[in-house]
Structure 1
Amino acid sequence: MSVTYKAEPRRWPEPAAALRLIKPITWFPPMWAYLCGAVSAGVAVDGRWGLVLLGVILAGPVVCGMSQAANDWCDRHVDAINEPDRPIPSGRIPGRWGLWIALAMTVLSLAIGWQLGPWGFGATLVGVAAAWAYSAEPVRLKRSGLLGPGLVGLSYESLPWFTGAAVLSAGAPGWPVVIVAALYGIGAHGIMTLNDFKALQGDRQMGVNSLPVTLGPERAARVACWVMALPQLAVIGLLLLWGRPWHALAVAAVLAGQAAAMRVLLRDPEGRAPWYNGTGVMLYVSGMMVAAFAIRTLGVSP
């Protein structure tokens, strides 16, 4: 006679699962964008390294980590189909712990943002609101293949870039900073669209109308490539207009590298999307820093 023992459900989250919940791999883009903002502000960093470090921590581990925890909690039913080994559907983050972690990090985000002055706190409020609007009902902008990736792109690139410049300059950045930050945020819509390829099956079943679902993988990949490329072409044109030809040439070079990677992507969008997100995106963010250095002397508020 054999006896089967049923494992007791967890009461506390696994530490490793809690770390996976806030996805450290996703922290880099907003941290990098905040640094781009600090560079583009055109302000000496002497004596302000604490603001730079605190802003980088806020943009990456705290606000971005919070957004990932909120997204995983709100997506737990989709993840049970797409990736059942994730922390919440697998039970390693039991009960409502995913929600409590997201809420606690929301409070932490606001507390740290308060330390960055009115511009930093205001930007933190916007970032926190965007994170919940993207994932949570009844808003859940993630359901839209246009609004969802657009909101994430602006939140990951434009908002931290603007925040870094505003905090360092203690005021509103100049228009060149605002325009370039907005263009790179718009281009990031394409990156977010490619990121949606990994959830294609679950999104179809749960009614999430991502572009890969509504357009199909091939057309969605082509749209994503154009959305990434056109804002960078605009940046190149602006840098030429502003008298920065060498920086414009450098951005053009990284765009050419992306174009070569896009050709590989379009041969097999579903299979190559993760590869492109590791290859083409690094070129994309390299161009961001080049542009940040280009507009340093243009970015000071008048």
Structure 2
Amino acid sequence: MAATPAPSAVIELLKPLTWFAPMWAFACGVISSGQPASGQWPVIAAGVLLAGPLVCATSQAANDWFDRHVDAINEPNRPIPSGRIPGRWGLYLALGWTLLSLVVAAALGPWILGAALFGLVLAWIYSAPPVRLKRNGWWGNAAVALCYEGLPWFTGAAVMAAALPDRRVLLVALLYAAGAHGIMTLNDFKSVEGDRRMGLLSLPVQMGSQRAARFACLVMALPQVAVIALLVGWERYWHAGLVAALLAGQAALMVRFLENPRERAIWYNGTGTTLYVLGMLVSAFALRPLVGGV
């Protein structure tokens, strides 16, 4: 009988650092809804729990289980290839977190349950055969970007309104999710060799590091330009100006990143991506007075 994994190994498997993005996007959804938080804090807390430690953690556990052979090359110290998560415990944890996520989502209402179910399906087909979306960087990155940015934003707005969010909220959330496709490409630079050996067609593998880096920067920038134009059209000039300033800061950092993408992808994730998510927050505040309008 396989040994029971240590709690520290389980926590490492669930990758708490990755929870920030969906939790932040959920908070942006809450803010953009325009609904008062007073009296809603238990629901908000449950939604944050659902976005990060449950749904996102589920996706991480499933990915590590189905990626265990790739990780044996790229990251042999990860919990599963190192043996700290023995036997089939990685799969059992992914299944258990899936069920727990659905229970919490059901308690938050039908819109949230539907969003969580959609996100969990994407999480599993991203990693699991026969679909395994991550085999191709175009489809895999799109699925992760939607689950990390667009879906949590929708969930945060829907849980506050207990209804389908305003169409402007949906549009801005979708644009930031599209831009996050570029962020997902940045994450692929660290595993190019293992991906190539295992037949995973990440964009750096398909396009080469330099072209993939330029493409990632373009994909991150263009949706933000669209958001700025929308905010100007909605007469939210100060917010548009702040997002534009944050985009200008990203552009300056992109120049340095493009000089050596393989070496500086992690650096750009910690700098340029921070400015990207700050723009999300500014845009969420810009939407507040507009929700419920025409």
Normalising to structure 1: TM-score of the pair? 0.96
- AA of the residue aligned to 1:56: V
For 1:301 and 1:205, locate their aligned partners in 2 and report how far apart those are by CA, in whole Å.
53
For 2:239 and 2:62, locate their aligned partners in 1 and report how far apart those are by CA, in whole Å.
38
5+ residue gaps, structure 1: 1-8
SS for the counterpart of 1:27 is: helix
- Cα offset, 1:65, TM superposition: 0.6
Within the candidate set 81, 85, 100, 2:77 is matched to: 85
SS for the counterpart of 1:139 is: coil
Cα distance per residue 1:104-137 (max 9 Å; x no partner): 0000000000111011111110111010011000
Within the candidate set 143, 167, 179, 1:187 is matched to: 179
- Where do 1:1-302 residues align within 5 Å? 11-300=3-292
The change in CA–CA distance for 1:205 and 1:301 in structure 2 (over 3 A counts) is farther
- Contact 1:172 1:301 survives alignment (8 Å): no
SS for the counterpart of 1:171 is: coil
Normalising to structure 2: TM-score of the pair? 0.98
Cα distance per residue 1:177-225 (max 9 Å; x no partner): 0000000000000000010111111100111000000000110000000
For 2:35 and 2:247, locate their aligned partners in 1 and report how far apart those are by CA, in whole Å.
28
5+ residue gaps, structure 2: none
SS for the counterpart of 2:279 is: helix
- Cα offset, 1:301, TM superposition: 6.8
For 2:4 and 2:48, locate their aligned partners in 1 and report how far apart those are by CA, in whole Å.
29
Bigger Rg over Cα: 1
For 1:288 and 1:49, locate their aligned partners in 2 and report how far apart those are by CA, in whole Å.
21
- Cα offset, 1:260, TM superposition: 1.0
For 1:256 and 1:122, locate their aligned partners in 2 and report how far apart those are by CA, in whole Å.
37
- Cα offset, 1:10, TM superposition: 5.8
Cα distance per residue 1:139-161 (max 9 Å; x no partner): 10001111110110011000000
- Cα offset, 1:97, TM superposition: 0.3
Cα distance per residue 1:73-100 (max 9 Å; x no partner): 0000000010111000000000000000
SS for the counterpart of 1:90 is: coil
For 1:259 and 1:16, locate their aligned partners in 2 and report how far apart those are by CA, in whole Å.
39
- Cα offset, 1:15, TM superposition: 1.6
- Cα offset, 1:298, TM superposition: 1.6
For 1:125 and 1:289, locate their aligned partners in 2 and report how far apart those are by CA, in whole Å.
25
For 1:238 and 1:301, locate their aligned partners in 2 and report how far apart those are by CA, in whole Å.
15
SS for the counterpart of 2:249 is: helix
For 1:268 and 1:24, locate their aligned partners in 2 and report how far apart those are by CA, in whole Å.
28
- Cα offset, 1:272, TM superposition: 0.1
- Cα offset, 1:300, TM superposition: 2.6
Aligned-pair identity (%): 61
- Contact 1:169 1:300 survives alignment (8 Å): no
The change in CA–CA distance for 1:246 and 1:301 in structure 2 (over 3 A counts) is closer
